[in-house]
Structure 1
Amino acid sequence: MSFGLRKSASNGWCRNPPISEDQQQEKVEEVRRVVGPLPEKLSIYCSNASISRYLRAQNWDTKKATKMLEQSLKWRLEYKPEEIRWDQVASEAETGNMYRAPYTDKQGRAVLVMRPICQNSKSTIGSQIRYLVYCMENAIMNLEPSQEAMAWLIDFRGCSLSNISVKIARETAHILQYYYPGRLSYVILYNPPKFFESFWRVVKRFLDPRIANKVKFVCSENQSSVKIMEDLFDMDKLDSAFGGRGGELVFDINRLVERMREDDKKMRSFWGNLNACEADKCSSCEAHGPEVCPGCNLAMANI
């Protein structure tokens, strides 16, 4: 049985694991033993797939992976990302600066669209990061079963130096690298302005090289870089802002509100059902392990 520990098209963390699948599973179990018993949602979060992402991030070093996972669990216990709801972040989203696209890439990865020029000027760093975390949790929940990582599309149209922040970039990198390892497949920087080169040199210093390598610069006037988009997306569905033929995707806050509130219901139901399954010690869960519980129809790949 595979626990998703090999390199997939979505994660990109380790092309050829240096150890066998059995050894990988042993390391997963070792991390679980060291971490010990956990309460409620934290125990659910530590699925085989989740632990394996931390191991891949630390090159299968169980000591480092355990420390990283424990720090992440502490953050989740305090920050409670799975409990953030739309009404708590709606004011940050109203300008259309970031949202989950109504399409996926060719592999079924959820896509977060970001537009720096639409950044809400009234928001604080804390509120921006909270909305980012909400969007990432939402994207993860909407991944296809075969995927474990999302994609980011950043549209730089009209962007000026005042629309980007090193502080925000640093905090985003920290959240992504330490609390969501293996959850980012790639980032498309679409038509970045000339001044972004110096900004990127600064940001790259505090990025894990594996994250930095996921960043792709795409210029609409360069045919070779445009091919990157053609390889990753169905161009008939991709909106024209990114060179697609799907027409201009006009940001509609009312449609976004409707989608996000529906997703909030799914998120609430998802974690509520998982807690019920945990409390009832579902026999199907015990038989099939923490990855999938067909008895209560819960897919753990999205945790």
Structure 2
Amino acid sequence: MFRKKHNSHDNQEHDAKDQEQKIKELRAAIGPLSGSSLTFCTDACLRRYLEARNWNVDKSKKMLEETLKWRTTYKPEEILWHEVATESETGKLYRANFHDREGRTVIVMRPAKQNTSSHDNQLRHLVYVLENALLSLPEDQEQMVCLIDFTGWSLSNSPIKTARETANILQCHYPERLAVGFLYNPPRIFETFWKVVKYFLDSKTFLKAKFIYPKNKESMELLRKHFDLDVLPVEFGGRNQVQYNHEEFSKMMIAEDTVKASLRSSEEKTPQPGLAVQAS
């Protein structure tokens, strides 16, 4: 019995060493970095890309390089609230003011409240919310939870093109950031939509999607295991009566934009190491 425990401990240490070696290999493979790419590629970041590709360095390198290219052109960290505020007026997508039982940041989506027709602006709004949600993560957390309320949803709310690009952004440029996604009260017609969408998802992302039906005791119990009913909104079967307030949320986002701008300014003023020096 004691030998088994000893072997288990040895295996864990061995796995940890292997993982650290993989991180070093990936850092060497991507080569010298500078600017925002240098700041982005922390060890934790590299670990997430390796996990997303089952610790295959070559595949992880390709994935990370695609993200760095995307971030260089899309500049997600520079999107400001006033550029996407219109998209959020109905509360179709926002960062919640509560956490799950593990203290993770929660993003709420209510696609039936779609209020615009601009594919590009909708995606910029999504990226803005994701970036801010990640900045709000507690120090001991790397993942967030997504609550999606499909009450009143129809195919007209979610064009396939937007759904495909949303899935692409989430799994390709924010790997291992989603802990679990709860799909609450999906109508019967959603089954047809899901059959198409699931082909856009990699297996890991697909398995994180949990269907929750209000009249199904088992699925509701799963939701309650993750959330205290006192903080869970009533539209998700909880007891929290507080509704999304666009004015209050806007004030919070404007304040956070100021903080982000200050952080970027500090990073730009800080002397950058030579191009051959890597992020720790």
Global fold match (TM > 0.5): yes
Partner residue of 1:246?
A: 240
Q: Is 1:41–1:271's contact at 8 Å kept on the other side of the alignment?
A: no
Partner residue of 1:3?
A: none
1:159 aligned residue (149, 153, 156):
153
Report the Cα offset of residue 271 of structure 1: 3.1
Q: State percent identity of aligned pairs.
A: 44
Q: Which runs of 4+ in 1 moved over 6 A?
A: 16-19
Q: Which has the higher helix share?
A: 2
Structure 1 86/219 Cα, relative in aligned 2: closer, same or farther at 3 Å? same
Partner residue of 2:41?
A: 46
2:51 aligned residue (47, 51, 56):
56
Which structure 2 residues correspond to residues 126-275 of structure 1 after superposition, within 5 A? 126-247=120-241, 249-275=242-268
* Unaligned 5+ runs, structure 1: 1-15, 291-303
Give the letter for the 1:99 counterpart: Y
2:67 aligned residue (58, 67, 72):
72
Distance in 2 separating the partners of 1:276 and 1:228: 48
Which structure 2 residues correspond to residues 17-32 of structure 1 after superposition, within 5 A? 20-32=15-27
Partner residue of 2:76?
A: 81
Give the letter for the 1:78 counterpart: T
Distance in 1 separating the partners of 2:247 and 2:21: 48
CA RMSD of aligned residues (A): 1.9
2:108 aligned residue (113, 122, 126):
113
Report the Cα offset of residue 19 of structure 1: 6.2
Report the Cα offset of residue 262 of structure 1: 1.5
Structure 1 61/164 Cα, relative in aligned 2: closer, same or farther at 3 Å? same
Give the letter for the 2:140 counterpart: S
Give the letter for the 1:124 counterpart: S
Distance in 1 separating the partners of 2:264 and 2:145: 24
Which whole-Å deviations, capped at 9, do the CAs of 1:164-190 have from their partners, x for residues lacking one? 221111001111111111111111111
SS of 2:200's partner is: coil
Structure 1 125/18 Cα, relative in aligned 2: closer, same or farther at 3 Å? farther
Distance in 1 separating the partners of 2:12 and 2:148: 31
| 1:104 corresponds to 2:62 | no
Q: Which structure has the bigger radius of gyration?
A: 2
Which whole-Å deviations, capped at 9, do the CAs of 1:49-70 have from their partners, x for residues lacking one? 0001111111111111111111
Structure 1 35/104 Cα, relative in aligned 2: closer, same or farther at 3 Å? same
* Unaligned 5+ runs, structure 2: 1-10
Report the Cα offset of residue 274 of structure 1: 3.6
Report the Cα offset of residue 280 of structure 1: 6.5
Taking structure 1 as the reference length, what is the TM-score of the superposition?
Answer: 0.83
| 1:35 corresponds to 2:23 | no
